[in-house]
Structure 1
Amino acid sequence: MTGKSHGPAFKAKPIDLKHCHVCKGKAVVMGVFHELPCAACHASGWVSADTGEALPPEVLVTQLGLLLNIYQQRLIASGEALRKAWGTDRNYQEGNRLGAGGTNYTGD
């Protein structure tokens, strides 16, 4: 057998999402006196980028979880890059003038 022919996919793949055009991604719309949940996007603020239609809640939860994981991985990777650029040895290499009389203070 060369590939999968039916049934759910082995791995969940992210679907392209965009902000809802009705609520502008806020998940609520203004009623006469107060804000109401947006019916066009199931009060999520996100719709399918391809069709512009709201995703079913169970699919939407999965997609938002996948996107959150992707963004967290990017944030961690950028934080590690910053940590490497601003390593702990930098505290010892440059004077920070935080010690007594403007001397270097390292906190040790």
Structure 2
Amino acid sequence: MRKSHGQSFKKQVIKLAECPACQGRAVVQGVFHELACEACNASGWIDGWTRQALPLDELVTQLGMNLRVATSQIEQLRNPQVTGPEELYQSSNRIGAGGTNFTGD
């Protein structure tokens, strides 16, 4: 087991969960109008493990990190990697005339 002192060099992604008080809406219904949710600092998100509101500076960092992960997942789904026989037709193997794609047809 390795000992370490001080803070980590990398920021860890915290699992976020929707606030149960406002159901992720960031506002709760008052008597006459909607009010900012006190349970989640009007963000709609809480720490998924401790179920406590995150400080605003930590919340901004975590939302940015989670957004970056979600964006990369969306890009992977938009551009699927082709495998199998279709890969021969989609990628250039540069063995045809003039360095073009040769499929053997």
Give the alignment's TM-score, normalised by structure 1: 0.70
Match of 2:5 in 1: 5
Cα shift at 1:3 = 5.6
Aligned partner of 1:38: which letter? C
Paired residue for 2:47?
48
Gap regions ≥5 residues in structure 1 = 90-108
**What is the total number of aligned residue pairs between the two structures?**
83
1:61 offset after TM fit, Å?
0.5
Q: How much does 1:27 deviate?
A: 0.4
Note the 1:75-86 alignment, pairs <5 A.
75-81=74-80
Q: How far apart in 1 are the matches of 2:8 and 2:63?
A: 18
* Per-residue Cα deviation, 1:37-87 (whole angstroms, up to 9, x for no partner): 1010000001111111100001110000000000000001111118x6xxx
Unaligned ranges ≥5, structure 2: 83-88, 90-105
Residue 28 of structure 1: how far off its partner (Å): 0.4
Q: Aligned to 1:59, what secondary structure does the other structure show? A: helix
Tell me whether 1:26 sits opposite 2:1 in the alignment: no
Residue type matched to 1:78 in 2? L
Query: Cα distance, 1:4 vs. partner?
Result: 3.5
- Overall identity of the aligned pairs, in %: 41
Structure 1 residue runs of 4 or more that deviate by more than 2 Å after TM superposition:
none
TM-score by length of 2: 0.71
